[in-house]
Amino acid sequence: NAGVTQTPKFRVLKTGQSMTLLCAQDMNHEYMYWYRQDPGMGLRLIHYSVGEGTTAKGEVPDGYNVSRLKKQNFLLGLESAAPSQTSVYFCASRWTGNNEQFFGPGTRLTVL
Amino acid sequence: EDQVTQSPEALRLQEGESSSLNCSYTVSGLRGLFWYRQDPGKGPEFLFTLYSAGEEKEKERLKATLTKKESFLHITAPKPEDSATYLCAVQAVSGGGADGLTFGKGTHLIIQP
């Protein structure tokens, strides 16, 4: 049981490049979340999903898109990366009847 | 707007020196308050969920309490392995339970041998 996994662990992009971050969970959780964590700030919610085929905006959605084509996967896309998107990205998931969110190990993204 | 404020930002203790971390929150209606532990380079690890004022939960040397305006994480006789950043987060009733958590900035705790 791997829990929540994230791919890749590290990535460096140039301004304007695109990429996709993958989150996978093997716990059959309905809800999945993407957060970003920046120095001196708390974790902030980017987008979330309440089930396969559904997504919704969080606190800081601009510049990101997401997709949940399969229940176990939640993808975060950056179409045109900007230096302001340099951050550590965390994925989380949880069951419908339990508020505890399980977090992945994070992806450290640097945009030059 | 939901807000979470944690204090102090950083705390250095000697091994065995007990203390408390504070989490003050403002939320339209509290669905739950969460404590997480985060080690450097890793994702947050769940510790506790508190749902109503007066509730308390314990795990080893940690005890979390909740009032209507704040939560405390009490650390009794800490050990060096308790060194980490402790995060507090709230979930509001207004989100219907589906939306995410609002996090504080965390308290960076260092326990010196």
DSSP state of B104: -
φ, ψ dihedrals at B80, nearest 5°: -55, -35
Given a cut of 60, is residue A35 above it in pLDDT? Answer: yes
**Sequential DSSP letters for B35-91:** EEEE-TTS--EEEEEE-STT-EEEETTEEEEE-SSEEEEEE-S--GGG-EEEEEEEE
Report chain B's terminal Cα–Cα distance, integer Å.
41
Q: Note whether B97 contacts A: Cβ–Cβ < 8 A.
A: yes
Per-residue pLDDT tens over the stretch B47-91: 999 999 999 999 999 999 999 999 999 999 999 999 999 999 999
A12-16, A51-55, B27-31: which has the minimum mean pLDDT? B27-31
Q: How confident is the model at residue B93 (pLDDT cuts 50, 70, 90)?
A: confident
φ, ψ dihedrals at A74, nearest 5°: -135, 115
A22-31, B5-14, B99-108: which has the minimum mean pLDDT? B99-108
Which residues of chain A are within 8 Å of residue B91 when distances are taken between CB atoms?
99
Per-residue pLDDT tens over the stretch A94-103: 998 778 999 9
Distance from B2 to chain A by nearest Cα, in Å? Answer: 11
Tally C-beta pairs within 8 A across A and B: 62
CA distance A20 to A64: 10
